[in-house]
Amino acid sequence: MKKVAILTVLAVTAVSFAAIFNEVEPNDTKAQATPAFGLVNGDQLTGTSTSSTGAGLDYWLLSTAPAPLGIYRHRLLVTPNNLAWTASIRGLGQTAAAVDTAPGIPWDGVVGVPNATEATVQSISSATNPPRFQQWYGFGKAEQLHWRINGSTATTVPYVVDYVVEPVTPVDIGSFQPGVITITTFGQGHSTDTDLWVYDSNFNAIVGYGNDDEAPNAISGGPGTGTTLQSWLARTYAPGVYYLALTNFNLANNQPSPSDDDFRTGSILEFPDAVLNSSTTTNLNMAFSINDLGRSIQIPNTKVGAFDINWFKFTVVPEPTSLVLLALGALLRRR
């Protein structure tokens, strides 16, 4: 009985540690954003807004608590959900890179440049399940982002926003050879407008290792004519572990688009280590293939929920050298 009582006290104490962050006026712009740093599961944001302009805008600067390195899905759930709240994750525009001046493979290494234009990267929706939530992914690196909420004359009660985080396990799709590896949704039996980015073993977005739309063959070296909205990314990989984030348009991190992408002006995030999808469309076929030295593997893939990004892990390892194979053969013969 004593053990049960102690466990009950500990459980109640853990819940009581959840923090409530109150908006601090003025917070009508990103420069005035109310900070909410070190967010942990169960924390809340709260404030009041009865207007959609000027002083009615509530900006927040959010930062998640550090966690062991991995993939995490973060959510904000806004209540009451039957009122006219409008909310969005904020970001920036980008100035497009000039079209690849060295067509084909390898890519010329040029990317776009973030600009100062504030952009809506993901908008809240009453049609999602659950309604009125926002979602992004991070890696335990205390990532930051700007979030904005506002109401109307009907929203006279305070909004309450619950923060929820949970880990995500990537699908391991196997090992591939060093050199040029191609990841594509082009020609995979669907017409989904896809968007993807590759991360290194420490979950850093690799500069230029992303693609929204396949470009014409003369620019990308790919198989298409640039008329589809599907993805084709050919890049050189050294041995190591990599992670693939794949979803439908728009995938946004803080990386501008490379010069061999056919769409190079998508909205991006301001800070590193966060990544999100802007689309509420669900149940999408996003099958893709990954190809190394003449080998092609197709991976079934479906986007199930609003704002979802699907995660995959692959390893690049060299084949055993001929000397290693000879030594192994000799060892086997001795047996």
Residue 155 and residue 49: Cα distance in Å, rounded? Answer: 7
Q: Residue 10: which pLDDT band, with cuts at 50, 70 and 90?
A: very low
Give residue 284's domain range: 169-316
Q: What is the pLDDT of residue 105?
A: 77
pLDDT at residue 16, as a whole number: 42
Same domain? For 163 and 176 the reply is: no
Q: Are residues 94 and 201 in the same domain?
A: no
State mean pLDDT over 264-284.
98
What pLDDT score does 12 carry? 33
CB of 20 within 8 A of CB of 34? Answer: no
Domain boundary pick from 124, 147, 167: 167
Residues 109 and 209 in one domain: no
Same domain for 101 and 214, yes or no, is: no
Domain shared by 189 and 78, yes or no: no
pLDDT at 325 over 60: no
The stretch 39-51 carries a mean pLDDT of: 96
In a domain, 8, yes or no: yes
Q: How far apart are CA 121 and CA 277, in angstroms?
A: 8
Residue 327 confidence class, pLDDT cut points 50, 70, 90? low
Q: How many domains does the chain have?
A: 2
**The whole model's pTM is what?**
0.90
- pLDDT score recorded for residue 335: 55
Inter-residue contact 145 to 89 (CB < 8 Å): yes
Overall average pLDDT of the 217-224 stretch: 89
Assess whether pLDDT exceeds 60 at residue 83: yes
As a whole number, mean pLDDT of residues 238-260 equals: 98
